[in-house]
Amino acid sequence: DVKVTQSSRYLVKRTGEKVFLECVQDMDHENMFWYRQDPGLGLRLIYFSYDVKMKEKGDIPEGYSVSREKKERFSLILESASTNQTSMYLCASSFSGFREYQETQYFGPGTRLLVL
């Protein structure tokens, strides 16, 4: 079974703190994704990575950065947390390619972040 894990289920931080969210997958997937989920908005893509050290901006990258030093690990960084970054953060991974098994995304359990 594919396993995607996230470092924390719940996190409380203060405004201005630097926040690290970590995601690890064990299926040797090339692609990894960070989404945020807010009520009524669905999931929105923040950043994704298609290889080690490679990254691309998603739809809402402002205020975030990412790091992928190893294939299995993808980190989301909030350089200076703000209250509008209070949200549910979800990590996902997949293979590269166009077949069903390659395009299917597998999600971690999510991190609920509260910024005070």
Partner 1 sequence: GIQVEQSPPDLILQEGANSTLRCNFSDSVNNLQWFHQNPWGQLINLFYIPSGTKQNGRLSATTVATERYSLLYISSSQTTDSGVYFCAVNAGGTSYGKLTFGQGTILTVHP
Residues binding partner 1 (CB under 8 A): 31, 33, 35, 40-45, 48, 50, 56, 58-59, 88, 90, 92, 94, 96-98, 100, 102-107, 109-110, 112
By C-beta, is 79 or 114 nearer to partner 1? Answer: 114
DSSP class per residue in 82-104: -GGG-EEEEEEEE-SSSSHHHH-
Residue with Cβ nearer partner 1 (5 or 82): 5
Q: How far is the CB of 113 from partner 1 (least distance, A)?
A: 12
21 near 111, Cβ under 8 Å? Answer: yes
Q: How far is the CB of 22 from partner 1 (least distance, A)?
A: 17
Distance CA 4, CA 6 (A): 7
Residue 106 C-beta: closest distance to partner 1, Å:
7
Taking CA atoms, 42 is separated from 20, 34, 73, 84, 109, in Å, by 23, 13, 24, 16, 16
Q: What are the structure tokens assigned to 62, written together?
A: 């402002």
Q: Which is nearer to partner 1, 73 or 106 (CB)?
A: 106
Q: Shortest approach of partner 1 to residue 16 CB, angstroms?
A: 27
Contact predicate 78/63, CB 8 Å: yes
Question: Which of 14/99 has CB closer to partner 1?
Answer: 99
